[in-house]
A and B are shown apart, each in its own frame.
Chain A
């Protein structure tokens, strides 16, 4: 009754904002594109105007997203879409449309919010770069592409923006293209992503062929009415679509591009790793989660999978990626690479949550992670900026006193990532673990707890070595606090890192994903609206802070326990350490971790000879068959024909007339036969 009344109230109140909320969504989507176009065409030469255009567009988009969020998040307005026909090719009808619902409005906030802060930060970080405006063009384009993924209401449109994210990431990672490693990293990111996209496209084609639509809402409806619509290809289609997420969200075995992408400027790393590119994969899985709720079915050739569902495989890959990346992170010495592997590991966590049937938990973790990972990256950028582009943590040390603001915010981010209650990371991690436990995945749950301990360990190692102790190089000794444009975003980002989970975000997402199906789980059995929360804030603080411990004590206590153990080992090993004691303790295993378990080398050993072989074959084919037979042959015969034709095209009118009449006669002859 209450919900119903609230719904009506919002529907009635909606015109106060705009008669068509989807128009706002279109505007949000186009703003960054306008900024990119404006900078390119008008103010390419002015650093100040370029930054102003770009930041103004993103901040406006953020404010508008907030308006939408109030309408669709706080209120209970029904999801709207606004499609217009884009192209019809045979039976494929593709619309360009935006979907505005609880999921997309939340993601809009995350993307525009982080993007705006990263852009402000970039004003300080990129100060003096000779291609400053180009950087902001790239950032705006990137934001536009990502917003397109968030708002897309069908697979084809999502795929288009998916590729746009690929292109703009290529532009940004390779921003310092004159540096060979950056250019290579950009190429690697792009190509690895293309590999995943190939599967994604195949999946889209299968879905379209089987269901006859690429629209999310229609597809969901059709699958709801006929769960066997996709036939024996249901699980294969799901996995192929997941391949797209594997590329963008850097899941094993396509994870190799992400650490290399650190070659881009640090704000780009923050943007890519926190709220945009890598989040796209997880977001997409959540958006099309209905695809994975159908009966498991395998074609005859893959029947050996039996009752293992696509979700089980996704969960397994996520957990494996999380474990692998956490192990690698333990032995990295480059501050950005540690964070990169940490992102990889946390993404594995989110994918695992999706695999366990908890898209709400995955989105929850994605949202909180966006906040504190952006904070950590920007903090790392501040450190690197201060230490004259030194990135080795063993050459830092003692930065706590020299950079107090950076240290404090970085420490908060670390605590949030490690999952210290009552910081935001604790709650979302708890939701992920609970999703694993509740849906009958005890092994994944155990792995999750283990990874939580490892996360605390490597993050604390980073903080202890880089910020505490004494300066281990001259650069670290002369470090100084970064300018305000860089520290203020840190301070702002620290707020959600600490407090985001104090609003009932988990319930909000659970509500979005499961209410329609009458299946509510997680620690949000009663749906609490934001309004009620605020009015009873004080009463709820108690409720929220200790709720996980009361509701599901096992994951909460085990998660906290893992945190304590990880922290204890890190402090024992690295308190005032001058060099890393782990290689001695673990021997060759540590070397494996440091060298990323030789994945790049293995890929190189397998794929490069293979690639060379294909290239040589193609070269042979091109040289002899295409070049020799086809081109030279065509050239020769064309030459001959050309000479013959030159006789025809004599410029002599009588000849022309003759050919005209002869042509008519010939056509009659052929047609009559």
Chain B
């Protein structure tokens, strides 16, 4: 390790520095200059600083988009794909920050926006490492920021409750992850993923290997809300401030899926086992197949019975975690990333609509959307695009996301061994249409309730929502536009 290496490291991490600098700039501006301003002013100011800083970071990423690097024994691993994933994370964070301008859930909005930026920094480190220790540290940075964000509405007991559950649950999941990592280290003597990959296959049939895999997957299963590690999600989605929920559902998901996919396919390729029909053998493929099955069945069935829009989204997120796990099983990184990114864009969009509607009406139920078509045409159209995309209706992005994920799983193995999983996923998608259409029924069919006026978000949020809806439409109509960056 020479000084030149450190200089190189600092240079390569320029986008991350910029993001961290943005955190400090927001805190400083908020503390120093804006103490006496209104909350609306402060949230817009903080979101503006974040947007500027992140735009600069994005510019650095685009400038160095062709970079490949592997420094300090896998601590920092950069590839064009990781650069594009970071770009997506920055975009999602910008939208989330602007959602803070909808609704005054706290007076300390500058700190909240700074936490968004801090979580983003964590996510960026998370996607650019192949070192287990670094993975864990970055994961904790993301998680702790998100816990605090969830608890940020101090006037709401539900927010505090949700955050406490999220935190304790997350703490336990982190313990499991760390325990799993320590087993991996014990088995292979390394925390470097490619090294682990080279050595773990000696222990392929070892029950200890499987325990390690299950423990690691359990930790990430918590982050992506896969059954049976999903129990925190409905409460957190419901109680958290809308921007926090949006970020949990979007940025955090993208980063976690990327890392889980990398961990399993780069770090543990030799111990996949099999989840094929009638050819079950222990390994992570089997574990992930079990989680996917449980998530798709449970998420969709539980969503059918929800009346709260946010809980519905939580169960839908659980179901979608199941679908995305199919892409991990299929071993197709482009399919996984296309799925995760388009899903994140859709989710952040839906939470945007939810934030605006809740802020103006105070109603958190699906019934609160009644007659939205007459109260805000833009929100209605955008919400319809997002919801139909979640349901997987072509030509929206959700359709191609599912298509690529399912196709990846179907193609795995020689004789369509995973057909049972794909068939289940298709069936589950059909079921999901029911509850998604319930939402749209309220928007387009249900009568406008008495005494309810127009609903309109701020102009920045409105533009962002329109752009997100357009992005869902365009990446769906021309999937090559996005997927060629992810290959």
Contact of A659 with B228 at beta-carbon distance under 8 Å, contacts A667-B214, A668-B214, A672-B207 already known: yes
Q: How far is the CA of A653 from the CA of B170 in the complex (A)?
A: 12
- For the residues of B in contact with A, the DSSP-based class is helix
- Residues from chain B with a CB closer than 8 A to the CB of A653 are 164-165, 168-169
A638, B480: Cβ atoms under 8 Å?
no
B301, A638: Cβ atoms under 8 Å?
yes
A85 an interface residue at 8 Å Cβ cutoff?
yes
Contact of A649 with B407 at beta-carbon distance under 8 Å, contacts A667-B287, A667-B291, A672-B282 already known: no
Contact of A87 with B282 at beta-carbon distance under 8 Å, contacts A638-B305, A657-B168, A671-B287 already known: no
A517 an interface residue at 8 Å Cβ cutoff?
no
A666, B228: Cβ atoms under 8 Å?
yes
A642, B407: Cβ atoms under 8 Å?
no
B231, A649: Cβ atoms under 8 Å?
yes
A641 an interface residue at 8 Å Cβ cutoff?
yes
- Residues from chain B with a CB closer than 8 A to the CB of A87 are 400, 478-480
- Residues from chain B with a CB closer than 8 A to the CB of A642 are 301-302, 304-305
A671, B286: Cβ atoms under 8 Å?
yes
A660, B301: Cβ atoms under 8 Å?
no
B480, A85: Cβ atoms under 8 Å?
yes
B232 an interface residue at 8 Å Cβ cutoff?
yes
Closest CB in chain B relative to A578 CB, distance in Å? 58
Q: Chain A 609-652, CB within 8 Å of chain B: the 1/0 string?
A: 00000000000000000000000001000110110010011010
Q: Which residue, A649, A660, A662, has most C-beta atoms of chain B within 10 A?
A: A660
A660, B172: Cβ atoms under 8 Å?
yes
Closest CB in chain B relative to A322 CB, distance in Å? 39
Contact of A663 with B229 at beta-carbon distance under 8 Å, contacts A88-B480, A657-B169, A671-B287 already known: yes
A670, B290: Cβ atoms under 8 Å?
yes
- Residues from chain B with a CB closer than 8 A to the CB of A670 are 286, 290
- Residues from chain B with a CB closer than 8 A to the CB of A634 are 431
Q: Chain B 257-300, CB within 8 Å of chain A: the 1/0 string?
A: 00000000000000001000000101100110011000000100
Q: How far is the CA of A673 from the CA of B231 in the complex (A)?
A: 26
- Residues from chain A with a CB closer than 8 A to the CB of B165 are 653, 656
A671, B304: Cβ atoms under 8 Å?
no
Contact of A664 with B218 at beta-carbon distance under 8 Å, contacts A670-B290, A671-B210, A672-B207 already known: yes
Q: Which of B227-253 contact A (CB under 8 A)?
A: 227-229, 231-232, 234-235
B386 an interface residue at 8 Å Cβ cutoff?
no
Contact of A668 with B228 at beta-carbon distance under 8 Å, contacts A641-B301, A656-B169, A660-B169 already known: no
Q: How far is the CA of A659 from the CA of B294 in the complex (A)?
A: 14
A5 an interface residue at 8 Å Cβ cutoff?
no
Closest CB in chain A relative to B212 CB, distance in Å? 10
Q: How far is the CA of A657 from the CA of B273 in the complex (A)?
A: 28
Q: How far is the CA of A659 from the CA of B229 in the complex (A)?
A: 8
- Residues from chain B with a CB closer than 8 A to the CB of A536 are none
- Residues from chain B with a CB closer than 8 A to the CB of A667 are 214, 217-218, 228, 287, 290-291
A89 an interface residue at 8 Å Cβ cutoff?
yes
B176 an interface residue at 8 Å Cβ cutoff?
yes
B305, A89: Cβ atoms under 8 Å?
no
Q: How far is the CA of A641 from the CA of B273 in the complex (A)?
A: 32
User: In the complex, how many residues of chain A place their beta carbon closer than 8 angstroms to a beta carbon of chain B?
Assistant: 30
Which listed residue, B283, B304, B407, B484, touches A90 by the CB 8 Å rule? B407
A538 an interface residue at 8 Å Cβ cutoff?
no
- Residues from chain A with a CB closer than 8 A to the CB of B210 are 668, 671-672
- Residues from chain B with a CB closer than 8 A to the CB of A304 are none
Q: Chain B: which residue is nearest A648 at the CB level?
A: B231
Which listed residue, B164, B217, B286, B407, touches A89 by the CB 8 Å rule? B407
B290, A671: Cβ atoms under 8 Å?
yes
- Residues from chain A with a CB closer than 8 A to the CB of B287 are 667, 671
Q: How far is the CA of A671 from the CA of B289 in the complex (A)?
A: 9
Q: Chain A: which residue is nearest B476 at the CB level?
A: A87
A89, B403: Cβ atoms under 8 Å?
yes
Q: Chain B: which residue is nearest A654 at the CB level?
A: B168
Contact of A86 with B478 at beta-carbon distance under 8 Å, contacts A641-B301, A666-B228 already known: yes
B301, A664: Cβ atoms under 8 Å?
no
Q: How far is the CA of A662 from the CA of B215 in the complex (A)?
A: 12
Q: How far is the CA of A673 from the CA of B286 in the complex (A)?
A: 10
- Residues from chain B with a CB closer than 8 A to the CB of A645 are 298, 301-302
Q: Chain B 411-435, CB within 8 Å of chain A: the 1/0 string?
A: 1000000000000000000010000
A664, B172: Cβ atoms under 8 Å?
no
A659, B480: Cβ atoms under 8 Å?
no
Q: How far is the CA of A150 from the CA of B445 in the complex (A)?
A: 40
B211 an interface residue at 8 Å Cβ cutoff?
yes
- Residues from chain A with a CB closer than 8 A to the CB of B302 are 641-642, 645, 649
Contact of A660 with B229 at beta-carbon distance under 8 Å, contacts A87-B479, A90-B407, A642-B301 already known: yes
Q: Chain A: which residue is nearest B306 at the CB level?
A: A642
Q: Which of B376-428 contact A (CB under 8 A)?
A: 400, 403, 407, 411
B478, A664: Cβ atoms under 8 Å?
no
Which listed residue, A85, A90, A648, A664, touches B214 by the CB 8 Å rule? A664
- Residues from chain B with a CB closer than 8 A to the CB of A666 are 228
B214, A656: Cβ atoms under 8 Å?
no
Q: Chain B: which residue is nearest A637 at the CB level?
A: B301
Q: Chain A: which residue is nearest B207 at the CB level?
A: A672
- Residues from chain B with a CB closer than 8 A to the CB of A648 are 231
Closest CB in chain B relative to A93 CB, distance in Å? 9
Q: Chain A: which residue is nearest B215 at the CB level?
A: A664
Q: How far is the CA of A673 from the CA of B305 in the complex (A)?
A: 34
B215, A656: Cβ atoms under 8 Å?
no
Q: How far is the CA of A642 from the CA of B306 in the complex (A)?
A: 10
- Residues from chain A with a CB closer than 8 A to the CB of B286 are 670-671
Q: How far is the CA of A85 from the CA of B287 in the complex (A)?
A: 37
Q: How far is the CA of A657 from the CA of B176 in the complex (A)?
A: 12
Contact of A659 with B407 at beta-carbon distance under 8 Å, contacts A638-B301, A641-B301, A653-B168 already known: no
Q: Which residue, A86, A87, A649, has most C-beta atoms of chain B within 10 A?
A: A87
Closest CB in chain B relative to A201 CB, distance in Å? 15
B176, A664: Cβ atoms under 8 Å?
yes
Q: Chain B: which residue is nearest A88 at the CB level?
A: B480
Closest CB in chain A relative to B474 CB, distance in Å? 12
- Residues from chain B with a CB closer than 8 A to the CB of A657 are 168-169, 172
Q: Chain A: which residue is nearest B283 at the CB level?
A: A671
Closest CB in chain B relative to A652 CB, distance in Å? 10
- Residues from chain B with a CB closer than 8 A to the CB of A641 are 301-302
Closest CB in chain A relative to B176 CB, distance in Å? 7
Q: How far is the CA of A178 from the CA of B183 in the complex (A)?
A: 73
Q: How far is the CA of A89 from the CA of B287 in the complex (A)?
A: 28
B228, A673: Cβ atoms under 8 Å?
no
Q: Chain A 294-313, CB within 8 Å of chain B: the 1/0 string?
A: 00000000000000000000
Closest CB in chain A relative to B51 CB, distance in Å? 27
- Residues from chain A with a CB closer than 8 A to the CB of B478 are 86-87
Q: Chain A 70-92, CB within 8 Å of chain B: the 1/0 string?
A: 00000000000000011111100
Known: A89-B407, A667-B217. 6 other contacts (CB 8 A): A87-B479, A638-B304, A656-B232, A657-B168, A663-B229, A671-B290
Can you list 26 A-B pairs with a CB-CB distance of less than 8 A? Answer: A85-B480, A85-B484, A86-B478, A87-B480, A634-B431, A638-B304, A639-B305, A642-B305, A645-B298, A645-B301, A648-B231, A649-B302, A651-B161, A653-B168, A653-B169, A656-B231, A659-B231, A660-B218, A660-B231, A663-B227, A663-B228, A663-B229, A664-B218, A670-B290, A671-B210, A671-B273
A residues engaging B (CB < 8 A)?
85-90, 634, 638-639, 641-642, 645, 648-649, 651, 653, 656-657, 659-660, 662-664, 666-668, 670-673
B residues engaging A (CB < 8 A)?
161, 164-165, 168-169, 172-173, 176, 207, 210-211, 213-215, 217-218, 222, 227-229, 231-232, 234-235, 273, 280, 282-283, 286-287, 290-291, 298, 301-302, 304-305, 400, 403, 407, 411, 431, 478-480, 483-484
> What 7 A-B pairs are tightest by C-beta distance, nearest first?
A663-B228, A642-B305, A656-B231, A671-B286, A85-B480, A668-B214, A671-B287
